[in-house]
């Protein structure tokens, strides 16, 4: 027995030390309006798993899909979903990408903080953006002429806004076209007479978000289904993604991830 015990102790003494856990690295491509959400999800996930490293890469909405499809990113975060063509592989035509509904964004109307207007109706907004109303005193403000700020024609926010508000008419030719939400917010912050729209996550201290038909663009109102201008936010992966990617998706869709989402946006449809 003593001899056997000695042999066992010898084997234990000669066995190599346990290997430390390997770092798991994933790359998340995010469109600029969603960079804040991406970073907060990454920080929270890394707080739960110290062996996880999430690299955030900011790209345009179109580029995030391309980066995912070509393997330059493990996941992608964008407003809107996937077109049928985006889902299919260019090689064999089979489904290659998968969409996971993550959150619901609101298109927030923004004005300069000095603007006393705090609410517009859908009809007022239609008349203003179609050019039928030109001055703030026509919609409850002071006499200054309204400077409209809109997104570029191909932007999902612009398509959603025009479809819901303009109802077949066109945005006024005097509208200033900006290439992104950040550019819209910067312009409105510097021009007291401006009126624009951005993702509700960007409606901070620089600009004032106003209500639409009495409903403010907040995560609570979006969750309750009361705010009328919304966009889906989608997490994208490749079909047959590895376990490390599936684990991060599960975290984002789970209680901890949705708590992060709820600080900026409403929940995904059906939650």
**CATH classification (class only), 106-223:** alpha beta
Is the pLDDT confidence value at 188 over 60?
yes
CATH number of 25-104+230-262: 3.40.190.10
Q: Where are the domains of the chain?
A: 25-104+230-262, 106-223
pLDDT tens profile 200-253:
998 877 999 999 999 999 999 999 999 999 999 999 999 999 999 999 999 999
Give residue 15's pLDDT band: very low, low, confident or very high (50, 70, 90). low
Q: How would you write the chain as a 3-class SS string?
A: CHHHHHHHHHHHHHCCCCCCCCCEEEEEEECHHHHHHHHHHHHHHHHHCCCEEEEEEECCHHHHHHHHHCCCCCEEEEECCCCHHHHECCCCCCECEEEEEEEEEEEEEEECCCCCCCEECHHHHHHHHCCCCCEHHHCCCCCCECEEEEECCCCHHHHHHHHHHHCCCCCCCCCEEECCHHHHHHHHHHCCCEEEEEEHHHCCCCCEEEEECCECCCHHHHHCCCCCCEEEEEEEEECCCCHHHHHHHHHHHCHHHHHHHHCCCECCCCC
Q: Do domains 25-104+230-262 and 106-223 have the same CATH topology?
A: yes
- pTM across the whole model: 0.86
């Amino acid at each position: 027995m003593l001899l056997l015990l000695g042999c066992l102790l010898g084997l234990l003494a000669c066995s190599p030390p346990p290997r430390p856990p390997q770092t798991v690295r994933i790359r998340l491509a995010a469109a600029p309006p969603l960079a804040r959400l991406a970073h907060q999800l990454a920080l929270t996930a890394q707080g739960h798993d110290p062996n996880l490293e999430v690299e955030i890469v900011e790209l345009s909405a179109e580029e995030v899909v391309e980066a995912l499809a070509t393997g330059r990113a493990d996941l992608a975060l964008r407003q809107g979903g996937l077109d049928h063509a985006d889902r299919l592989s260019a090689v064999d035509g089979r489904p290659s990408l998968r969409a996971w509904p993550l959150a619901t964004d609101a298109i927030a109307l923004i004005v300069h903080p000095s603007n006393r207007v705090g609410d517009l109706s859908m009809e007022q907004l239609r008349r203003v953006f179609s050019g039928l109303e030109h001055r703030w005193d026509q919609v409850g403000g002071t006499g200054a002429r309204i400077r409209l700020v809109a997104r570029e024609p191909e932007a999902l926010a612009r398509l959603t806004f025009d479809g819901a508000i303009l109802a077949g008419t066109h945005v006024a030719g005097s509208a200033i076209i900006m290439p992104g939400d950040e550019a819209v917010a910067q312009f409105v912050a510097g021009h007291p007479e401006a009126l624009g729209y951005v993702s509700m996550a960007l409606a901070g201290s620089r600009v004032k978000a106003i209500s639409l038909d009495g409903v403010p663009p907040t995560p609570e109102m979006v969750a309750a289904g009361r705010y009328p201008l919304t966009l889906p936010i989608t997490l994208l992966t490749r079909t047959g993604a590895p376990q490390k990617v599936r684990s991060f998706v599960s975290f984002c869709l789970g209680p901890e991830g949705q708590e992060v989402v709820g600080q900026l946006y409403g929940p995904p449809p059906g939650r």
